[in-house]
Chain A
């Protein structure tokens, strides 16, 4: 069990550029989540997938953000036309099971800095 991995760990970009982050969940987990964490705050839910289906999206996920999980395994989060306010840690988590058995396991995050 290698845990949840995210790539890259750090990304510096200029305002207006597009960026894409990747998340590889724990292999047998069917659920995958994206969160955003700004300095001094807890993670904020962005979206989640069950297998390849995107089942819920937060209002935080503007039209500049898009997430995919094409084969129900890894997922990508793309931010188009980045803004300075997008600077944050982007966390991915995965889980399996139902009800009380469901626990989310987090990756190390991708820290984005938009200049």
Chain B
């Protein structure tokens, strides 16, 4: 069975500092992996996705994530945090061998301090 674990329900950084949000997955085969962002009272917006084409995936708003099979990780990073990055971030996994069910992590709320 597939699962996703996001380490840290809350992360706080200063504006301009590195953002690192951690995600580990469990899957019997290399899956598709996603990062979504959710602003208050809104739906989820796709930041980036991993589909086995490249291990380093670049997304919108300056975010990127690296797929590390040996560590079963897909951590999200951004070199310099902006106040507008404050939101909830969700890592998600979907099996690459058929099926469309997507499993989401519990989320990490990012706070950005001025």
Residues of A within 8 A of B (CB): 4, 31, 33, 35, 40-45, 48, 56, 91, 93, 95, 99-100, 102-109, 111
Contact = CB atoms under 8 A, between A and B. Distances in A.
B46 to A, nearest CB: 6
B96 interface: yes
Contacts of B49: 103
B55 interface: no
30 contacts: A4-B43, A31-B100, A35-B104, A40-B107, A41-B106, A42-B105, A42-B106, A43-B90, A44-B104, A45-B103, A48-B100, A56-B100, A56-B101, A93-B44, A99-B96, A100-B51, A100-B52, A100-B96, A102-B100, A103-B46, A104-B46, A104-B102, A105-B46, A106-B43, A106-B44, A106-B45, A107-B43, A108-B41, A108-B43, A109-B42
Given A56-B101, A100-B53, 19 more contacts: A4-B43, A40-B107, A41-B106, A41-B107, A42-B104, A42-B105, A42-B106, A43-B44, A56-B99, A91-B43, A91-B44, A95-B100, A100-B52, A100-B96, A103-B46, A104-B102, A106-B36, A108-B41, A109-B43
Contacts of A41: 106-107
Q: Can you list the 8 inter-chain pairs with the closest CB atoms, starting with the nearest?
A: A42-B104, A100-B51, A106-B43, A106-B44, A108-B43, A43-B104, A42-B90, A42-B107
B102 A45 contact: yes
Nearest to B9: A40
A95 to B, nearest CB: 7
Contacts of B106: 40-42
Contact of A108 (B32, B42, B96, B105): B42
Contacts of A91: 43-44
B100 A100 contact: no
B3 to A, nearest CB: 11
Contacts of B92: 42
Contacts of A45: 101-103
A111 B103 CA distance: 21
